[in-house]
Structure 1
Amino acid sequence: MSSSPDLAGAIVLDEVVPARAPWTAVVRKGQTLRIVDLEGNQAVDFLMYALEDDAERYSAQDTIAAQGNIFLRTGSVLRSNEGRPMATLTGTSVAYHDTIGGACSCESNTLRYGHHTKAQHACVENFLQGNARYGRGKRDMVSNVNWFMNVPVEADGTLGIVDGISAPGLYVDLRAEMDLTVVVSNCPQINNPCNGFNPTPVRMIVAA
């Protein structure tokens, strides 16, 4: 289903996430989560929480401060609000990934694209649905990673959301540094080019 290299270890989970859908899983310490952009130009919004104490969760601020860079590349360590490593980006066939673009919501769609978009499904809804499986609510939402999303910082400091730099079969590999619950929104956005105006499925593989 993809042109990415074989994963080491036994495959313990291999699922295709439909376009616009949420996805959750437990990823154990030492396991690798591979996310494959099956058709290309699909943004994958991503959160993670410590399995044993979900008050500890991914922190964009700690991650950015520790690495001194807003983009995630091979070797980047994703850190928690306790400053501890949660996952390491061990390999990717995409040049960089976004940490600051955030998740689309019905409210932000309305503000940016007009009131007629309010009824459109959004990443925040997917995150709320996924988190509800673990007893988490809106207050547990934090800034997320956007895998495959192209959010350049312009010369004047503004952010752009432009055509993606991914392609069919490109991937990102994350090695869990602690036991994690992972919550994903396969982004449903159709009003900007982050998904090529056409949301598509992605593949999630966990290898031990």
Structure 2
Amino acid sequence: MAQANPDYTTHLPGGQHWSLRLRRGTTMTLTASEPDTNVGLLLYNPENLLERLNLPDTLKCQHTFKLTRGHCLYSDMGRIFASIIEDDLGWHDSVGGNLHAHHMIAKGWRPVTFQAALNDRTQTGHDSFLIELAKYGLGKRDLAANLNLFSKVAADDDGNLSFVPGHCNAGDAVTLRFEMDTLIALHTCPHPLDPASEYPKRGVDIALGTAPAPDENDVCWQHCEENARGFENNRLYHLGAA
């Protein structure tokens, strides 16, 4: 599901990170380069950095454990940062969290420092976010629960979580449409539950474009009553009455 005639394209290799400000009406299509790619994602309001992605509210208001086409990504102010308008996978992990150094040690993944390998180091998702957030004056206190695009985590009857290998194939893609100006931080570090025997480096292609503003017939608007209220909150915000 490649985006036709994108305005900008780039490739983010595995184990790397990036951040940028996207304007309202921008689309971002992420396409997995390898199977079992993972993309960690955090979102902030660049006009008020205290407003950021709130995954618990995102799940609660849309009555779901997973995220896919038709779902919206909510801020802690009840506004919609982005909508998932296209999706090849049908499931993106919202509860698995972020890779930390202790996960790597427990897995037996050998840490490789920047001094030893430059950009071929083994980076954690936690540190990747901190590096990107520091560019905007943010730090540890500003970290929130992150979304893991392309990954699937299943829960058993006892609530134990497990990574589902083979969920993501090379070429699978997901498209986000941004409903307000958004500061986005992302990384391609592995999922913390990834069972790979060695630190995996799986990259992602990124294409930026534009999309028309949604209306009441939009798949995300129509998904549930809560989303309709979320779009109304955005309308009020953009009128300057927030």
Instruction: Give TM-score, length-normalised by structure 2.
Output: 0.76
- 3, 6, 10: which one pairs with 1:6? 3
Q: Which amino acid aligns with 1:104?
A: L
Q: Which amino acid aligns with 1:70?
A: F
SS at match of 1:152: strand
Residue in structure 1 matched with residue 130 of structure 2 by the alignment:
128
Distance verdict in 2 for CA 1:196–1:175, change over 3 Å: farther
Q: Alpha-carbon deviation of 1:146?
A: 0.3
1:22 lines up with 2:17 in the alignment: yes
Within 2, Cα distance between the matches of 1:149 and 1:195?
A: 17
Within 1, Cα distance between the matches of 2:178 and 2:129?
A: 20
Q: Alpha-carbon deviation of 1:5?
A: 3.8
Structure 2: give runs of 5+ residues left out of the alignment. Answer: 114-121, 211-242
1:95 lines up with 2:90 in the alignment: yes
- The aligned runs of 1:28-177 (5 Å cut-off) are 28-110=23-105, 112-113=106-107, 120-177=122-179
- 196, 204, 207: which one pairs with 1:205? 207
Instruction: Give TM-score, length-normalised by structure 1.
Output: 0.88
Within 2, Cα distance between the matches of 1:101 and 1:190?
A: 7
Q: Which amino acid aligns with 1:94?
A: L
Structure 1: give runs of 5+ residues left out of the alignment. Answer: none
Asked if the contact 1:13–1:205 (Cα under 8 Å) also holds between the matched residues in 2, the reply is yes
SS at match of 2:52: coil
Within 1, Cα distance between the matches of 2:179 and 2:165?
A: 32
1:30-88 deviation per Cα after TM superposition (whole angstroms, max 9, x unaligned):
11111110122111111111121111010011101111111001000110011111110
Q: Alpha-carbon deviation of 1:124?
A: 0.4
Q: Specify the structure having the higher radius of gyration (Cα).
A: 2
SS at match of 1:11: coil
Residue in structure 2 matched with residue 185 of structure 1 by the alignment:
187
Within 1, Cα distance between the matches of 2:38 and 2:3?
A: 23
Asked if the contact 2:130–2:140 (Cα under 8 Å) also holds between the matched residues in 1, the reply is yes
SS at match of 1:167: coil
Alignment length (residue pairs)? 202
Identical columns (%): 28
SS at match of 1:39: coil
Within 2, Cα distance between the matches of 1:146 and 1:69?
A: 15
Asked if the contact 1:30–1:176 (Cα under 8 Å) also holds between the matched residues in 2, the reply is yes
Q: Alpha-carbon deviation of 1:12?
A: 3.2
Within 2, Cα distance between the matches of 1:159 and 1:38?
A: 25
